[in-house]
Amino acid sequence: MISTEICFTRLSEAELSLLVKIRNENRSYLHCDREFTLMECTDWFRREAPDFLCVWEDETFVGYVRLNSDTSESLEIRVRLDLERRFQGQGLGYPIYLKLFKFLESDQEAKVFTLETLSHNHRALNLYKKLGFHEIRRISTWGKRDGDIFMARKPLEPDL
């Protein structure tokens, strides 16, 4: 059963062991399929101070969201959700993204969301279409990864 108790917190160093576990188990769907250690992840976190959110469902850490914007004044935010493998395929992505859109609109005044994924990630592509994302382009990854990079965009809808 999907709970409505989904919430977000800013990623802190305390959650890095969970993040690196999820990142490594999902690496076949990421642009870089290299496996990272907790020490490498900690060094990266301290150096880059990334804008990541932890995703919690009923006080259980289920995944994280990566956020990027080109500038601090940009109303366009690139989003990407990575769930722990045991929570994938259970219908959590859709309500998490809906709640994320509301959160980001109020927290960062976002007006447009963009994302990208590898074109062989059919589950994610179906979710993004259901959420109203429209393909803007594909970038060939020939020789680097299987499939192309699918890039999509979604303007914020007032009723979300």
> What gap in Å lies between CA 44 and CA 40, rounded to an integer?
6
Confidence of residue 43 (pLDDT cuts 50, 70, 90): very high
In a domain, 92, yes or no: yes
> What gap in Å lies between CA 120 and CA 33, rounded to an integer?
14
In a domain, 145, yes or no: yes
- Number of domains present in the structure of the chain: 1
Average pLDDT of the chain is: 84
CB 158 within 8 A of CB 101: no
In a domain, 37, yes or no: yes
The larger pLDDT score, comparing residue 113 to residue 16, is at 16
- Whether pLDDT at 39 is above 90: yes
CB 118 within 8 A of CB 150: yes
pLDDT (tens digit, 9 = 90+) per residue, 83-104? 999 999 899 999 999 999 888 8
**High-pLDDT (> 70) share of the chain, %:** 82
> What gap in Å lies between CA 79 and CA 51, rounded to an integer?
10
In a domain, 56, yes or no: yes
In a domain, 160, yes or no: no
Query: Mean pLDDT, to the nearest integer, of 55-79?
Result: 82
Confidence of residue 127 (pLDDT cuts 50, 70, 90): very high
For residue 105, the domain's CATH number is 3.40.630.30
The larger pLDDT score, comparing residue 65 to residue 159, is at 65
Q: Which of 136, 52, 55, 61 is nearest to 98 (CA)?
A: 55
Running DSSP on this structure, what letter comes out for residue 14?
Answer: G
In a domain, 89, yes or no: yes
**High-pLDDT (> 90) share of the chain, %:** 48
In a domain, 122, yes or no: yes
In a domain, 1, yes or no: no
CB 11 within 8 A of CB 64: yes
| Tokens coding 7 | 């919430």
